[in-house]
Structure 1
Amino acid sequence: MRFRPRPVVLATLSSLVLTAAATSGAVAGLAPDQPAAAPLAAAPAATDTDGDSLPDAWETNGYDANGDGVVDVDLPALGASPTKKDLFVEMDYMSGRLATTAAFDRIVQTFANAPVSNPDGSKGIRIHLDGGPAAGAAYNLGGGNQVPYDSNLQPAEAQTDAIKKANFAPARKAIFHYMLWADDYDNTCSSGNAFAIPNDTFIVTMGPKCNWTVTENRNVGTFIHELGHDLGLTHGGTDHANYKPNYLSVMNYFFQFDGVPRTSGSNWFSYSSFAPPALNETSLRESVGLNTATASTWKTKWKCPNGSTRTSGAANAGIDWNCDGDTVDTTSTSINGDTSKTTLSAQNNWANIKFGGGDVGGGSSQSKTSTPAHELKEMTQQEYDNLKTTTR
């Protein structure tokens, strides 16, 4: 672990640390001369102008984790601003698993392009990725380590937490999300896991154990997908139902690896930026498609009654929901492949981002939640292969 505190002394600490230990240098249960572990600041009372769960005082002066007058995380030096939303992610990795600099560039650009307003008048979120020297100069922020290879993290959450504890500076917990580029976990051949929604930790696991063919698109899409869970986003937007044709987001399994198709021929590796109307599977009007002009530059995918997957043209135009060769019906069919016929609602992801999951922000905003394991089960190699072979 290469991250070291920066010896910057603060003039005032009262807005950063809210415990008595911050001013007395003692922690309950320890003798006065016994060294105390650096506590996380709990629910800072400071102003957070940009709403990113990092208080203005931290982004202006730096973060002093234990109130000793020395900055432990120099946020201004790392590029943070109190008037522009910032996200920090430390990336540890197993041998051969770290994504490319080109992939990191794309992730950064995705967040920079986010339709999110800032107090400084700009749009977008500034995401700071730290993979250490191996990630290249632009992505070396003093952390990021290669960790011992383990082809099967089991149990996944406990093993990930153990690796995090051994390689992640405690003072960073209030600032950085933590992620691990790994191989496999719990013998699932799953693409990743975030363990809770929202959260401060996630893994991307498309390693050789399960013979994944890892592409830049898959790394970018899966990183953004798992970080999305950390930020409070789900597979179904408003719920956990997957494969919704009206949910145009990498959070949707349809689009995690290949992006959301555009009529221009490009693909969108990002969160949804608008929410089309709900689709009632008991009464689907084929002639109107997703029933909004906003979908005119998008394509979508849906499931046919026989289990195959289709790709539409412009999603505001006719869509053959029942796959009978025309787009004139009002039909009743399950278009997300779960056999039940329900109302499928969508979400504008970018308008529903939750900053401050888990320890990020000192626990001041969104804490970890207990999320049922089946709702965080991620796409496997076999599921993706089946999706590809049944798509036309």
Structure 2
Amino acid sequence: MNLPLSLRASFVLGVVVLAIATFAAGAGNVSAGAPASLPDNDNDGIPDRWERTRTDRGLNIKALGAVPWRKDVFIEVDYARAWHRNLLTCESLDTIYDMFADAPVANPRGGPGITVHIDAGKNCPGGPRNYNYGGSRLTRLKISPLTGSCNGAAQAFSTGFDNGNQMAVMPPRRENIFHHVLFADRINPASCPGGGVLGIARAIPGRQFIVGVLPHMIFEERLVPEILGTFVHEWGHNLGLKHGGNIFPSGSFNDNPWAPNHMSVMSYIHAGGIFATANLSSPRIFDYQRLPIPALNENHLREPVGLRAFWLQAAGYKVAFFCPNGDFKISRRPANRRVDWNCDDAFGLVSANIDGQPNTFHPRTLNEWAEMVFGGSFAGGGTIGREREEVPGVPMRLQDEMTFDDRPHRDEPFDPDSDR
């Protein structure tokens, strides 16, 4: 499994509390075209009646494994070139499945978690889980990049995604049920800052996103996990999550992607996986933030107490941040223990720039799993944690997404022996 047993056990109480809050509030979600009067007992945005039989467009999602008592999310993966399939490995698919299955969100029956149904093609033949529902396909697209722009909003993305879909349009029966990801060579030109963006979602929240393959190639031995990180990062945008740990629609458009108190693949720091050791090359944990983390004031940092969130000890997460001289650093101790924010080998009350940005205050970050939007960008969509509401999608901009330069990589300086 993706998470250690100690971490899953530490969330039992939190899941119980979330269950009470969720169902007491009567929160619910419905997909586009689904009248709000249709019951949705598990709050996954898919009406119970559809999960017991067929959708209003005739798609038999019951046969695909959907049930009305446990949250279901569907996604189709299409590829511009056959070799792109090799980058979404069986292990990567299992990591995604386990990440959602272990999610600390309540269900009417069957324990916490979300069942993901991934139609990725013949990537994992003969495995214990089915990742091939017969819909994944090649686009036969020879256009690279998908858009010639380094910046831009919905128009640039729409052009790219629509070009990529020339030979890979999802069947109409799947629309409004399946999320859709396209693996393409490039999203924008290599001459753009950072070599072009690694991935982009069409909107927050939404249904579509793109993974740019060639900009990832510079990661070399970490290519597959970095591709996986971009996949779950962009899918997080589809589900209403932002870079700074604040949930759509509150906060600014982009928030701060470098906030050290945000333990999630939605952070630029952890987009390639959350650090569980002080070594950049070690395996990482892929997850969205599970519980809140208190705010940080750079003018008043209490180094002996770290991030002041006990659950981080069970998770084994490490704090990653920037020293005042610009060096990237990963603390050896768990994130709730002491942190040498100003990198002077002493621990006290200090003032320091810890993210390399001009802002000095990092707001409290939230339990992202508790606030996800199912049915995003469609009228009638809602969230787990709030009353049913319309959730229109806010278009993403190319300049707001990650490049290679935005990801901590092996050439960054860090000090694995500090904070002992």
Query: What residue in structure 2 maps to residue 107 of structure 1?
Result: 96
Q: Distance in 2 between matches of 1:100 and 1:292?
A: 34
Give yes or no for the alignment of 1:219 onto 2:227.
yes
TM-score for the superposition, normalised by structure 2 = 0.75
Give yes or no for the alignment of 1:370 onto 2:394.
yes
Cα gap change, 1:282/1:194 in structure 2, threshold over 3 Å: closer, same or farther? same
1:79 to 65, 81, 88: 65
Q: Distance in 1 between matches of 2:362 and 2:215?
A: 39
How far off is 1:332 after superposition? 1.9
2:40 to 48, 56, 75: 48
Give the letter aligned to residue 48 of structure 1. D
Secondary structure at the counterpart of residue 269 of structure 1: coil
1:97-246 paired onto structure 2 within 5 Å: 97-98=84-85, 99-133=88-122, 136=125, 138-147=130-139, 148-154=141-147, 155-164=156-165, 166-187=168-189, 188=192, 189-207=196-214, 211=218, 213=220, 215-238=223-246, 239=251, 240-246=255-261
Q: Is the 8 A contact 1:356 1:365 kept in 2?
A: no
Q: Is the 8 A contact 1:153 1:160 kept in 2?
A: yes
Give yes or no for the alignment of 1:332 onto 2:321.
no
Secondary structure at the counterpart of residue 59 of structure 1: helix
Identity %: 35
Cα gap change, 1:385/1:316 in structure 2, threshold over 3 Å: closer, same or farther? closer
How far off is 1:104 after superposition? 0.8
Cα gap change, 1:242/1:344 in structure 2, threshold over 3 Å: closer, same or farther? same
What's the RMSD between the two structures over aligned residues?
2.6
Cα gap change, 1:255/1:366 in structure 2, threshold over 3 Å: closer, same or farther? farther
Paired residues, number: 345
Give the letter aligned to residue 384 of structure 1. R
Secondary structure at the counterpart of residue 310 of structure 1: strand
1:18-37 paired onto structure 2 within 5 Å: none
Q: Is the 8 A contact 2:78 2:136 kept in 1?
A: yes
How far off is 1:139 after superposition? 1.4
Deviations 1:344-365 (A, max 9, x none): 3212111111111135988986
Give the letter aligned to residue 227 of structure 1. W
* Range 263-272 or range 194-203, more displaced: 263-272
Query: What residue in structure 2 maps to residue 295 of structure 1?
Result: 312
Give yes or no for the alignment of 1:276 onto 2:276.
no
Q: Distance in 2 between matches of 1:163 and 1:135?
A: 24
Q: Distance in 2 between matches of 1:254 and 1:184?
A: 22
Query: What residue in structure 2 maps to residue 14 of structure 1?
Result: none
Q: Is the 8 A contact 2:200 2:401 kept in 1?
A: yes
How far off is 1:388 after superposition? 4.5
Deviations 1:92-123 (A, max 9, x none): 01212121122111111111111111111411
Q: Distance in 2 between matches of 1:77 and 1:119?
A: 21
Query: What residue in structure 2 maps to residue 68 of structure 1?
Result: none
Give structure 2 stretches of 5+ with no counterpart. 1-31, 148-155, 383-387, 416-420
Select the structure of larger CA radius of gyration: 1
Secondary structure at the counterpart of residue 161 of structure 1: helix
How far off is 1:91 after superposition? 0.5
Q: Distance in 1 between matches of 2:63 and 2:303?
A: 54
* Range 186-195 or range 44-53, more displaced: 186-195
Q: Distance in 1 between matches of 2:389 and 2:374?
A: 7
Cα gap change, 1:142/1:262 in structure 2, threshold over 3 Å: closer, same or farther? same
Give the letter aligned to residue 53 of structure 2. N
How far off is 1:135 after superposition? 5.4
